[in-house]
Structure 1
Amino acid sequence: MKYYKLAKDCEKYDRFQSALIYYDKAIDLAPNDENLYYSKGRLLQDEFENYSAAIICFQQCIEINPNEGKFYKSMGYSYWWLRDYPNALECYNKALELDDTNLGTWIDKGNVLKKLGRKDEALECFDYVISQDPEYERGWLAKAGFYKDTGDYEKALMYYEEALKINPDNYHTLNWMAQIYEELEWYPEAIECYEKYLELRPGSSYETRKIAELTEKSS
């Protein structure tokens, strides 16, 4: 379809407003094509951060084809950013009914449950992910983040270490660990994390400044 191809080409070159126009033209010609609404919804969600408009697109997808899990998953993501956690949870549950093998959806569900204060259920989701695929980095990061948020820093560090074994080049993990070490006043360990971060992202001013600050505190 000509307009769909034009929309995708515009996205490649960051011409997002033009892409949106072409998606609308494509939808006018094929109003029952769920993939057009999905592509438009993802564009609104990812590039415009217009989550309410994205949800309308995903709802249209579901009206056309109610048996595709990714529509519910994407809608749940938009509800998450709107802080509408009950609706986000409903979407993730529906997505998992349709495809319970998507480990990313289990993590998304766990994060929503954590926001709703249902911490035991959240932890069950993260543990399930790890049990299904111990090499899936996001599972360990989700569990580490859970303990970081609940103030159990030693457990958080333990699970961040597991994540680093899988992906030692994840500078986000190093940053989160450094924050914990700093909170615990374990300054040499925090400095080491920031130094490793700079090996991956040289010239970062924040981490450079933190090393200087923590070196002064630990001297």
Structure 2
Amino acid sequence: MSVKLSMKFKSACIVGSVALGLLSGCSSTPDKKEEKAKAVETTEAEPKTSAQELFIQGNKKLDEKDFPAAIALYDKALERDDQRWDIYMNKAIAHSAKQQFSEAIAAMDRALATGGDKEAQVYFNLGNIYQNRGLYAQSIKAYKTSLAVGDGQSIDTLVNLGGALALMREYDKAVETYNHIRSLAPDDPRPYVGMGVVEQARDNNKLAVEFYEQAQQIDPDFEQAWYNHAAVLADMKRYSDAAQSYRRYLELAPDGPYAKRARASLRRLKSKN
């Protein structure tokens, strides 16, 4: 089962640039002492790039998946202001994307210590980091804390909580979570996919297919529903239907996380049709 990582960035406005005045000199051949004084004055007048500007640049690199550049920019931002929980949080996300778990957790600890302990999104992203590492019990705790700190109705957090519970084989609790999401967001296809995953794990393939098809009806472009649908149909030896769903997945996500597996599965299915 795949649980989608959501990266939440704190948005803020870019600080306006500072206008510089030109320095004028009376002599065309200043002595060395005057030259040195002007150099110092000019250096002091030059503005530093602010922590906020560096943070925004880092977020851009994070969006572009240039994680080393993002980390370097966040480090520079923290040199300007080492009390920004949002910078530490996004630095942790970048480290996690590079599979640098220790560094990610260290950055998250700093985020919590600098005011992030009052922010639901910090615990949400901490849960994602734990989940990517396979530490599902810790991710569940972080997601629950995120819900407690926030309004308790974050759909993204609830979806990932349901996924973590399913991965821990706490199927009844996962189903309870998915049903809660369905009551809050009936037009969201993700809880239906989650229910399908639970039923697959319980060997209720027919019911799993029904949930995946419900997700497809809600959002025909939700790629995960098509991939999971194809996989369970293949298990049921409905090879032609499985191939059709794999092809639909590849139409929607030719470079998606399961594209390579989908193409390999299609090749195998050709020999069975």
TM-score norm. by structure 2 comes to 0.70
Equivalent residue for 2:135? 84
On the 8 A contact 1:7/1:19 being kept in 2, the answer is: yes
Give, in angstroms, the shift of residue 14 of structure 1.
4.9
Does the alignment pair 1:129 with 2:181? yes
1:118-151 CA distance string (max 9 Å, x none): 2211110011111111101111111111112222
Match of 1:169 among 221, 237, 258: 221
Q: Per the alignment, do residues 111 and 205 of structure 1 end up closer, same or farther by CA in structure 2, a change over 3 Å counting?
A: closer
Which residue of 175, 191, 194 corresponds with 1:142? 194
Aligned 8 A contact 1:140 1:162 in 2: yes
> Which range moved further: 128-137 or 106-115?
106-115
Please give the secondary structure, in 2, of the residue aligned with 1:75: helix
Aligned to 2:272: 217
Secondary structure at the counterpart of residue 118 of structure 2:
coil
Displacement of 1:194 in angstroms is 3.3
Matched, 1:4 2:59: no
Residues 1:189 and 2:241 are matched in the alignment: yes
- Is the aligned partner of 1:26 residue 2:77? yes
Amino acid at match of 2:196: A
Cα distance in 2, alignment partners of residues 127 and 207 from structure 1: 29
Aligned position for 1:50: 100
TM-score by length of 1: 0.86
Residue number among 148, 152, 158 corresponding to 1:106 in the alignment? 158
**2:200–2:208 contact (8 Å) kept in structure 1:** yes
Pair 173,27 (structure 1): closer, same or farther in 2 beyond 3 Å:
same
Q: Which has the larger radius of gyration?
A: 2
CA contact (8 A) 2:93 2:129 kept: no
Using the alignment, how far apart are the partners of 2:227 and 2:59 within structure 1?
Answer: 35
Residues 32/211 of structure 1: CA separation in 2 closer, same or farther (3 Å cut)? closer
- Is the Cα contact below 8 Å between 1:51 and 1:81 reproduced in 2? no
Please state whether the residue corresponding to 1:144 is helix, strand or coil.
helix
RMSD after superposition? 2.5
Residue 141 of structure 1 aligns to a residue whose secondary structure is helix
Number of matched pairs: 217
Query: Which structure: greater helix fraction?
Result: 1
Q: In the superposition, relative to structure 1, how do residues 103 and 5 fare at CA in structure 2: closer, same or farther (>3 Å)?
A: closer
Deviations 1:95-131 (A, max 9, x none): 0102211012112112222233322111100111111
Structure 2 contact 67–95 (Cα < 8 Å) conserved: no
How far did residue 33 of structure 1 move?
1.0
Cα offset for 1:199?
4.7
Q: Percent sequence identity over matched residues? A: 21
- Which gives a bigger RCO, structure 1 or 2 (Cα 8 Å, sep 6+)? 2
Which residue identity does 1:22 align to in structure 2? L
> SS in structure 2 opposite 1:73?
helix
- Structure 1 residues without counterparts, runs of 5 or longer: none
Point out where structure 2 has 5 or more consecutive residues left out of the alignment: 1-49
1:59 to 2:109 alignment: yes
